[in-house]
Structure 1
Amino acid sequence: AIDFLLLAHDHGCEDLDGMCCMNLSDHSKLIHKQLSKLQQNLNAIKVESELSDWLSHL
């Protein structure tokens, strides 16, 4: 978990002298991009019904 958090904040194992890290691929930018897209899609969700559509046209 610590390895992922370090990678998520653009820190590699070489930044922490004496700390042993697992060899993980840095997918943090991809993960942040996907989270951003998910947040955008979440904000775009609307609940609509025939009644609300009808009321808006009055």
Structure 2
Amino acid sequence: MCGRHLGVEAAGLEHEIVAFPGADHAFFNDTGPNHDANAAAQAYDRVLDWFGRFVDRGGQGG
């Protein structure tokens, strides 16, 4: 378990840490050599799901 995970856990913060096997640093950057389209698509879907669950939309419904 990484130190960052322990820190957010100790702080009692809602969190989710996901690793994509085989995806290198900057895998989301579609202009770089480490781009992994499959991992990026999965990560993007997870981010949107996270925002939908935990980000206040200021009364915008949803």
The TM-score normalised by the length of structure 1 is: 0.32
* Structure with greater proportional helix content: 1
- Which structure has the larger Rg? 1
1 or 2 for the larger relative contact order (CA 8 Å, sep ≥6)? 1
The TM-score normalised by the length of structure 2 is: 0.31
